[in-house]
Structure 1
Amino acid sequence: MKLLKLLFALTLLASLFGCGKPVPPEKAAYVGEWQQTTMYLLITQDGSVRYKRLKSGASTSIEGPLKGFVGDNFEVGIGPMATTFVVSTPPHQDGDKWKMVVDGVELVRTAQ
């Protein structure tokens, strides 16, 4: 019985993490793999987000569904357990590279 409850809980959790909102067409430029030496961000078209940052000797990472966009910023998480990523410069082409500034860090798109 405990195994069935655990299996149910894991299935529910997995289904919640798969419930990200797809990236809307007007924000399609956000989709891709973005990197800088101390930061990694992956945003998929289906609304999955993976983030990792090294800062002051500590590592922070988040994996979760996209909740949506508020202006240029975007939220990741479930319910009240969410993080807002502040985008001070939205995705734009700079020469042959795509760049954006998230949480004060300039990222370069390395894959789409």
Structure 2
Amino acid sequence: MKKSLLIMCLVLTLCGCSKPIPRERVDYIGYWQGVNMELYIHPDGAVSYVRQDGNTSKSINASIQEFEGDDFIVGFGFFNTRFAVTQAPQEIDGQYQMVVDGVLLIKRM
């Protein structure tokens, strides 16, 4: 019981450690959707991510630790995931698009 409480406190503490998205990266903010993938980047740096692959799914709810080039790294401490951005957010035909981990994402809001 004490161990579960300690883990829950640690998770809540780490979730509160997000940094706002830098001004030069505001185009990343929003709800992005693609084939079998959803990515929500909040202005405060929090990220919600879900990706389906057949019968399996992967989800992440954590904060952006840093940007490296166009890529961004999400997680806490040594537990992190790099999101490889091969096309940074840009407006094409009236809608914002970006390519993350090989998936074309469209900004929905």
- RMSD, aligned α-carbons: 1.5
Aligned counterpart, 1:59: 57
Point out the structure with max Rg over C-alpha.
Answer: 1
CA distance in 2, matches of 1:88, 1:40: 17
TM-score (ref. length: structure 1): 0.89
C-alpha separation in 1, matches of 2:107 and 2:19: 21
Q: Which runs of 5+ in 1 are unaligned?
A: none
Aligned length: 109
Counting only pairs closer than 5 Å after superposition, residues 1-112 of structure 1 correspond to structure 2 as: 6-7=4-5, 9-111=7-109
Question: Matched residues, percent identical?
Answer: 39
Secondary structure of 1:28's aligned partner: helix
What amino acid sits opposite 2:16 in the alignment?
A: G
Q: Which stretches in structure 2 are left out of the alignment for 5+ residues?
A: none
**Distance of 1:18 and 1:92 partners within structure 2:** 30
TM-score normalised by structure 2 residue count: 0.91
